[in-house]
Chain A
Amino acid sequence: MGEAVPLVSTAPGRRRPSGAVGVRHHFLVIPSVICAAQAALTIAEGMPDAVAIEHQHGCSQLGGDAHLTELVLTGLGTHPNVAGTLVVSLGCETVQGLLLHRSIVECGQRAEFVGIQQSGGTGAAIAAGREALGRLRGAAAADPEARVGWDDLRIGIEAAWLGMPAAQARVFAEVTDQLLQAGATVIQAVREGSSEQPAGVSALGNPNREGIPLAYGTPPAGRGYFLMAAPESRIAQKTGLAAAGAHVILSPFASGLPAGCPVAPVVHVGVGPYARPFAGDVDVMLDDTPLPELVGAVLRALGKACGEETALEGMGAFEMAIHRIAPTM
């Protein structure tokens, strides 16, 4: 084992009514369907603590696929980094906004609802949405500050390191072990139908050292080490990890582009040579530095992201994709 696990950032988080601690204080505006996305974006515009997600789902989806979208949107809406959620609905869609709002409220989250057809058009819905955000903000002011420890956190890890050469994979395996030892819950995305499993994770002291299987986008029932079934799309992996309640997402970055997530900060660990041009965008670069130092650097970056805005968040850059299990009709 390397050095002692660094402390999480000393910046305080906020304790939610559910008891969970959040490392962000977002107000999330969720369109229940793509038709409501423009109104959702406009409601959040100019409000620095409001994040609107733009997704392409919510209508003419088949049963099982529509259900998955609902599950993921509920997970995002009840995320501990979210202080309050506003559901913006059109009114005639498949994923019904009112039901989505209800399932978010039933999870103990403070939430509001605005329907575009119900309000009488986009303008009225935007005005009602801004008022609703004001109410959420007022209520969330009561969430007390709380010290954040590793044992308060769920860390989501993307699948990209599974199958990397041993020297690189060891860094992520070691990070996983140290996080688990420090009491954090780790949710590791594992690609469905892939033989690549997290090798080298010893998960000492955890009741289930193999990792407990978890369905996509589903918050784990307890603490420990979980393996979440995930699609190949890195963006859909992030969305699934966030919907499962990951406070921070660790992204081994060796293809595509750095990408954020609407509710959870993403820590990018660049793996060369692909990541080299992105040296200025990633949080840690895997190079020839000795293993313990690299592991420490990744852990410090995770801790730092809990207390400070990441570079990507500063750019307002995040992407959104929900795993699909059937084509849209």
Chain B
Amino acid sequence: MEEISLYHRPTGGWGVRNHVLVLPLVASASSMARAVARGTEATWVEHDYEPLHDDLPRNHERIARTLVGFATNPNVAAVLLIADTGEPGMLLEPIRAAGQRADLVIVAEAGGLRGAMEQGRDRLAPLLSHAAGCCREPAPISALMLGTECGGSDALSGITANPALGVASDHLVDAGGTVILAETTELIGAEHLLARRAASPAVAEEIYRIIHRYEAVVKAHGEDIRGANPTPGNIEGGLTTIEEKSLGAAKKGGSRTVGEVVEFAVRPSTHGLVIMDTPGNDIEQMVGMVAAGCQVAVFTTGRGTPTGSAIAPVIKVATNSHTAGRMRDNIDLNAGLILEGTETLQSMGRRIYEAILAVAQGELTKAERLGHREFAISRYPFGILDEAATVR
């Protein structure tokens, strides 16, 4: 069996990077996270989620799951949590229970902002030295969990980059790895094709359920999904309807059996191809997949989307040579070569697969070089449906 070189974590996972993460647990701790991490080897994220009095329990649970999952991703050697008060700080417990090396600063208990800043630096230091002592070791390819994503799609997304990524996904599934296909709003219209590949009738039913649920929630808000998707840029890029976008988007996952459907930011229980229920929003989707344990992602783009992740390498694949040439700073691979006849779907798929293995073993992506670390908290979107169900 082919082996690659990864970081083995006490959580049981295998990391492709060795980050120390400073993670704010509430929005108002974001500045502190930045102040503590800036100028050190650590990375950080910022977000705008504040717990509210009328928070739905399902919202609270989804966000806690996202934060815990992100903090325990195997690419993270250690995490420093920043909380305003003791209550959000309670997430330290499940993060440590998962085996992750973690510490916490509660700003209100650290003597104000200046005190918290000092305490943060003090607590970060041992986490950084812990990470410095971690080494790569031989690991099976089956340890990899790949996130697939498309953003800034155009008319070629479904013809070049997405099916080529599908070929790479098949290679990884065949090697025993895991591939996540997500962005439910962009599977609308392709559900029957995916359901046909479901491992069981129950999985097929789940596929229909999550897609119909997104359609229903958009309608319940009195809006039309077509108002938000395809986006103005998609339309300019030649996409006409959400169905057309979806038929292309679904190809990213390849052609293997859909083994499981998981909720947002939930770790799959099986290897192979898995569908995750996420919004189509690029950043929220990426965070959901990384929080579920994806160590590496491939992101196809027609128009040229620069985003990445603070803790996971994101490989950018252009759907056309024009974008690949114009946005050289941002694009790692050009699937537009398929149209030019110098590559085939198969050969391009192989190249994407090889890039995944190279990046997993340390090769930096363009998004990493540019310092991209976008992060956003996805709120539980189905509250309005739950309410309607209760009234009924």
Interface residues of A (CB under 8 A from B): 34-35, 37-39, 42, 54-56, 59-64, 66, 90-94, 96, 116-117, 120-124, 232-236, 256-260, 274, 277-281, 315-322, 324, 326-329
| A residues less than 8 Å from B50 (CB atoms) | 232-235, 256, 321
Q: Is B381 within 8 A of A257, CB to CB?
A: no
Residue of A nearest to B306 (CB): A122
| B residues less than 8 Å from A124 (CB atoms) | 329
Provide a sorted-by-A list of 26 A–B residue pairs whose CB atoms are within 8 angstroms. Answer: A35-B374, A38-B306, A56-B48, A56-B377, A59-B281, A62-B221, A62-B223, A62-B227, A63-B223, A92-B303, A117-B326, A121-B330, A122-B330, A232-B54, A234-B28, A256-B85, A260-B31, A277-B110, A278-B108, A278-B113, A317-B32, A317-B35, A322-B48, A328-B284, A329-B214, A329-B218
> Known contacts A35-B282, A235-B50: does B28 contact A90 (CB below 8 Å)?
no
- Chain B 230-271 near chain A by CB (<8 Å), digits 1 or 0: 011110110000000000000000000000000000000000
Interface residue count on the B side (C-beta < 8 Å)? 72
Interface residues of B (CB under 8 A from A): 26-32, 35, 46-48, 50, 52-54, 84-85, 107-115, 151-152, 185, 214, 217-218, 221, 223, 225, 227-229, 231-234, 236-237, 279-284, 303-307, 323, 326-330, 370-374, 376-381
Residue of B nearest to A116 (CB): B306
Excluding A62-B218, A63-B228, A327-B279, 17 further A-B contacts by CB distance (< 8 Å) are A34-B307, A56-B376, A63-B223, A91-B233, A121-B304, A121-B306, A121-B327, A232-B53, A234-B50, A260-B31, A278-B108, A279-B112, A319-B28, A321-B27, A328-B281, A328-B381, A329-B229
Q: Is B84 within 8 A of A256, CB to CB?
A: yes
- Checking B53, B108, B305, B376 against A92 with a beta-carbon cut-off of 8 angstroms, the contacting residue is B305
- Checking A39, A55, A92, A122 against B232 with a beta-carbon cut-off of 8 angstroms, the contacting residue is A92
| A residues less than 8 Å from B113 (CB atoms) | 257-258, 278, 280-281, 315, 317
Q: Is A35 within 8 A of B229, CB to CB?
A: no
- Checking B229, B279, B306, B381 against A90 with a beta-carbon cut-off of 8 angstroms, the contacting residue is B306
Among B27, B107, B223: residue with most chain A CB under 10 A: B27
- Checking A61, A90, A280 against B112 with a beta-carbon cut-off of 8 angstroms, the contacting residue is A280
User: In whole angstroms, how far apart are the Cα atoms of A318 and B237 in the complex?
Assistant: 37
Q: Is A61 within 8 A of B228, CB to CB?
A: yes
Residue of A nearest to B214 (CB): A329
User: In whole angstroms, how far apart are the Cα atoms of A269 and B372 in the complex?
Assistant: 36
| B residues less than 8 Å from A279 (CB atoms) | 112
Residue of B nearest to A280 (CB): B112
Residue of B nearest to A96 (CB): B232
| B residues less than 8 Å from A64 (CB atoms) | 223
Among A42, A91, A316, A324: residue with most chain B CB under 10 A: A91
> Known contacts A92-B237, A256-B26: does B304 contact A327 (CB below 8 Å)?
no
Task: Tell me the minimal C-beta distance from B84 to chain A in angstroms.
Answer: 5
Residue of A nearest to B330 (CB): A121
Q: Is B35 within 8 A of A257, CB to CB?
A: no
| B residues less than 8 Å from A63 (CB atoms) | 223, 227-228
Q: Is A329 within 8 A of B228, CB to CB?
A: yes
Q: Is B327 within 8 A of A117, CB to CB?
A: yes
| B residues less than 8 Å from A317 (CB atoms) | 31-32, 35, 113
Q: Is B112 within 8 A of A92, CB to CB?
A: no
Residue of B nearest to A322 (CB): B48
